[in-house]
Amino acid sequence: MRKGKHTYLPEAGIYILNTCSIVGPNEGRGRFSSYYDQVLEDYDWDCKTHEKTEIKMHKFVIEQVIENSNLGRSDIDCIVGGDLLNQLVASTFAAREFEIPCLGVYSACASFGEALSVSSFLIGKGNMNNVICCTGSHFGAVERQFRYPLELGTQPAPSSQYTVTAAGSALLSVNYKEGVPCLTACTVGKIVDYHICDANNMGAAMAPAAADTILTHLKDTGRGEDYYDYIFTGDLGKYGRETLYYLCKKQGYDLGGCLNDCGALIYKDKQKDMQGGSGAGCLAAVFTAYIYKEMRAGNMKRVLLVPTGALLSKGSSLQGESIPGIAHAVAVEMV
């Protein structure tokens, strides 16, 4: 059901039956260490390349979330997946093992939000019953692809973020289950370009898109800034979160009480993480591990997830393009 200009409330209940998360060693030592389903001991996981490790991580979280739900593979109607690797090879190569229909989505680090948003339309009475959303990223694979191979030992800039090694999956279903959160609304985001060109300052590039999507969502639904217990943006990082706060304040919305950023939170303060984490696995892992479990435990009731993505390729930056941002908002509530 349409609500306002760009926000949609699913007609049927969409229950998040189960989730699964896997993270790398650094993330395992971070703030949510006790919440993850699996923490890797190293970045290879017995694979020859980091790309193959990432494929294995995607496969793991898809397999586990099906098993944990006591479902068979043939019960799953679709895998909606994405990642940051060229041509989405991590998520698609993982999905080929399952003989399940597959849709590849890309909104950079906001891909988990796009997967949830698309699924909120796929699932419904007479349409799909069970859909898996899955995104992830691997530090080594992403560094090599977008920046430099790790072996070079390049020094990160103070305004930059670490791409997390993490993958998260969520099984969304039309079938009721007691005590699990529901997906209750989604706002599909516009691409917003403030002409930031510094690939080491992604928070600045993405904050305007996050502000646009959050304010659209609040206006569309008529909800005030106090409706949600928490708004979790994807991976703006510490400065990026401040930028977003300022942009919303200028428009008359004070999000100070509820605004959190998964990238800024995922590592502990004493970890040398610059602005925090980023990557398609960042919000995916924090949601499927920490937020989902806290909601099921009754400690959060209403959460707005706003994964944020910076749109660029290595080629686009070399050709002098700026870095547009995108953010999709998805409301998850205990109802």
Binding status of residue 199 toward a second copy by CB under 8 A: no
4 or 229: CB nearest a second copy: 4
**Interface with a second copy by CB under 8 A: which range of 176-184, 219-227, 238-246, 311-319?**
311-319
Binding status of residue 185 toward a second copy by CB under 8 A: no
Q: Which of 231, 312, 331, 332 binds a second copy (CB under 8 A)?
A: 312
Binding status of residue 92 toward a second copy by CB under 8 A: yes
CA distance 241 to 263: 9
Beta strands at 182-187 and 329-333: parallel, antiparallel or unpaired? antiparallel
Tokens 């591990």 locate to 289
For the bound state, the minimum distance from the C-beta of residue 252 to a second copy, rounded and expressed in Å, comes to 21
193 or 198: CB nearest a second copy: 193
Rg of the Cα atoms in the chain: 18
Binding status of residue 251 toward a second copy by CB under 8 A: no
Q: Which of 49, 154, 251, 299 binds a second copy (CB under 8 A)?
A: 49
Can you say whether the dihedral through the CA atoms of 140, 330, 89, 313 is positive or negative? negative
21 or 165: CB nearest a second copy: 165
Binding status of residue 89 toward a second copy by CB under 8 A: yes
Give the single-character DSSP code of 107.
B
Binding status of residue 247 toward a second copy by CB under 8 A: no
Q: Output the CA torsion 35→36→40→41 (10° steps).
A: 10
**Interface with a second copy by CB under 8 A: which range of 162-170, 243-251, 297-305, 320-328?**
320-328
Contacts of 269-272 with C-beta under 8 Å, sequence gap 24+, read 271/26, 271/29, 271/30
Binding status of residue 206 toward a second copy by CB under 8 A: no
Phi/psi of residue 171, each to 5°? -100, 110
Tokens of 263: 């990238």
Do 325 and 308 touch, CB atoms closer than 8 A?
Answer: yes
Binding status of residue 330 toward a second copy by CB under 8 A: no
Tokens of 50: 């980091």
> Binding residues for a second copy, how many (CB under 8 A)?
57
Do 131 and 80 touch, CB atoms closer than 8 A?
Answer: yes
Binding status of residue 172 toward a second copy by CB under 8 A: no
For the bound state, the minimum distance from the C-beta of residue 129 to a second copy, rounded and expressed in Å, comes to 9
Instruction: Judge residue 151's burial from the number of C-beta atoms within 10 Å of its C-beta, 0-12 exposed, 13-18 middle, 19 or more buried.
Output: exposed
For the bound state, the minimum distance from the C-beta of residue 31 to a second copy, rounded and expressed in Å, comes to 29
Best CA proximity match to 83, nearest among 327, 218, 291, 284: 284
102 or 150: CB nearest a second copy: 102
DSSP assignment of 46-92, as one string?
Answer: T-SSHHHHHHHHHHHHHHHHHHHTT--GGG--EEEEEESSGGGHHHH
Binding status of residue 319 toward a second copy by CB under 8 A: yes
* Residues near a second copy (CB under 8 A): 1-2, 6, 8, 11, 48-49, 51-52, 77-78, 82, 84-89, 92-93, 95-96, 99-108, 114, 117-118, 121-122, 126-128, 145, 188-193, 311-316, 319, 321, 324, 326
